[in-house]
């Protein structure tokens, strides 16, 4: 008798695609052991057809298939995160494995739509990513010829840093940034795979974030008042970093409460970003 799957029986792995929407033959998959949650989803885009003479639907036809995948993981390196910059396509497999069998959900033609990366004191660097795919295949066997995890340790808060104009901000207690590619599904009228999108196109990019400080100086308030632009650099472990150029603080606030230190929350917006 079949039994419900538990999270301990779920795994996630990916491989880059050389041709959009096509999983390489016998792929060597990279497995993400530090995934904390995962949410595969498929929407058939049903077309509901009515006609006179009945209160009920006359037909239900499949429409444009929409494949989505969300998950969060502890960051070990920038290999996967870089897809939000390069917009490379990949096949991502989420599979559930028991002694009695496997359920494999293979997401093909995935491109990263957005990524939120964050860290705070006494924690590790985490990424929350959202991908849009072209198609999803369901199977009872894993697709990879091998599954190899990353070897690096998850990046701890003391292996990160925040720099403003190349100077380390030793007042920072938490940081977060979000990159959004605003991908658009583009279907076309065709008889072959017409229910699948043909193109997945990037549009305008949004780059935002927030730094939390211990409130010690008036520097950030001066930046807002004087309309000052600056560069931010956030360490992502080892020599990896995210660099934000032409930044400005969107808002400055210093919540002040009885029996607590004064903190400064500073959301920012940037013109460009690189991850290296």
Q: What is the pLDDT of residue 61?
A: 97
CA separation for the pair 215, 184 (Å, rounded): 41
| Statement: residue 265 has pLDDT above 80 | yes
Contact 243, 232 (CB under 8 A): yes
Q: What residue segments make up the domains of the chain, in order of their start?
A: 7-275
Instruction: Among 42-46, 87-91, 214-218, name the one with the lowest average pLDDT.
Output: 214-218
Provide the strand spans (E) within 62-169: 66-74, 90-98, 101-120, 126-133, 135-139, 146-149, 162-164, 167-168
Q: What is the pLDDT of residue 1?
A: 63
Q: What is the pLDDT of residue 262?
A: 86
Beta bridge partners of 199: 186
Q: What is the pLDDT of residue 75?
A: 98
DSSP of 60-86: EE----EEEEEEEEE-S-STTTTHHHH
| Statement: residue 2 has pLDDT above 80 | no
CA separation for the pair 22, 103 (Å, rounded): 20
| Statement: residue 37 has pLDDT above 70 | yes
pTM: 0.94
Tens digit of pLDDT for each residue in 150-207?
999 999 999 999 999 999 999 999 999 999 999 999 999 999 999 999 999 999 999 9
CA separation for the pair 140, 93 (Å, rounded): 12
Tens digit of pLDDT for each residue in 200-210?
999 999 999 99
The segment with the largest mean pLDDT, out of 94-103, 145-154, 217-226, is: 145-154
Tens digit of pLDDT for each residue in 204-243?
999 999 999 888 888 888 888 888 999 999 999 999 999 9
Q: How large is the average pLDDT for residues 15-34?
A: 97
CA separation for the pair 168, 177 (Å, rounded): 17
Q: What is the pLDDT of residue 60?
A: 98
């Amino acid at each position: 008798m079949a039994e419900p799957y538990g999270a301990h029986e779920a795994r996630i792995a990916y491989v880059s695609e050389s041709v959009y929407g096509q999983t390489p033959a016998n792929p060597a998959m990279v497995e993400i052991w530090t995934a904390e949650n995962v949410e595969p989803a498929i929407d058939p885009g049903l077309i509901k057809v009515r006609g006179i003479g009945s209160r009920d639907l006359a037909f239900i036809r499949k429409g444009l298939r929409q494949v989505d995948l969300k998950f969060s993981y502890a960051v070990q390196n920038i290999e996967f995160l870089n897809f939000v910059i390069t917009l490379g396509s990949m096949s991502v497999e989420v599979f559930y494995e028991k002694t009695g069998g496997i359920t494999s959900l293979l997401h093909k033609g995935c491109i990263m739509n957005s990524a939120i990366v964050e860290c705070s004191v006494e924690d590790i660097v985490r990424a929350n990513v959202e991908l849009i795919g072209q198609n999803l295949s369901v199977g009872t066997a894993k697709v990879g010829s091998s599954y190899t995890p990353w070897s690096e340790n998850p990046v701890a808060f003391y292996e990160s840093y925040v720099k403003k104009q190349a100077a380390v901000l030793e007042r920072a207690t938490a940081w977060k940034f979000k990159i959004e590619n605003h991908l658009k599904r583009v279907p076309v009228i065709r008889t072959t795979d017409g229910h699948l999108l043909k193109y997945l196109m990037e549009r305008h990019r949004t780059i935002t974030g927030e730094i939390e400080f211990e409130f010690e100086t008036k520097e950030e308030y001066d930046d807002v008042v004087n309309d000052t632009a600056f560069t931010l650099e956030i360490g992502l472990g080892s020599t990896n970093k995210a660099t934000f150029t032409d930044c400005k603080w969107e808002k400055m606030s210093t919540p002040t409460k009885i029996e607590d230190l004064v903190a400064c929350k500073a959301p920012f917006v940037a013109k460009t970003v690189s991850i290296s």
